[in-house]
Amino acid sequence: MGYVMEIDAKDNILRVTLEGSVTDATLSDMYAAVAGYVASHGPCRAIADASRVKMFEVSTSFIREVARNKSAIPTGHMRVFVAPSDFMFGMVRMFQIVGELTRPDLHVVRTLEEAYHLLQVGSSPEFRPI
């Protein structure tokens, strides 16, 4: 699958943990799953955690295309992308810059702890599988 989705209902945070090899197809599937969750459960804040990614094989053209499209999470709901490696951090920053108009609430950090801090939740939110 390439990712696992979980929800912290108390803090209304959707967390998607990417794992293994991540490709354009992986991110496309993940985006559709997040959009489906938000459509059926309502808007929420979100974390995309790439700490478990072994290979990030996402094309720059795919990143630009997705960044220009409507976000799965409505404006006004913070989303944080955890990108620990330099390469991935740079790719996600490109996504952030290209998508400034469609995703003004996107932040890029290096650790999950930084994401929790930005979202103002404790160090151990209670995530449950979806």
Q: How far apart are alpha carbons 22 and 104 in whole angstroms?
A: 24
**Which long-range contacts link 99-103 to residues 24+ away (Cβ below 8 Å)?**
99/66, 99/67, 99/68, 99/71, 102/67, 102/68, 102/69, 102/70, 102/71, 103/67, 103/71, 103/75, 103/79
Q: What is the pTM of this model?
A: 0.94
Chain segment 15-65, per-residue pLDDT in tens: 999 999 999 999 999 999 999 999 999 999 999 999 999 999 999 999 999
- Tracing tokens 């740079």 back to the chain, one arrives at 90
The average pLDDT across 83-103 equals: 95
Q: How far apart are alpha carbons 102 and 68 in whole angstroms?
A: 7
Q: How confident is the model at residue 1 (pLDDT cuts 50, 70, 90)?
A: low
- Domain boundaries, given as residue ranges, for the chain: 3-129
Q: Which fold has domain 3-129?
A: Transcription Regulator spoIIAA (3.30.750)
Q: Which two tokens stand for residue 86?
A: 């330099």
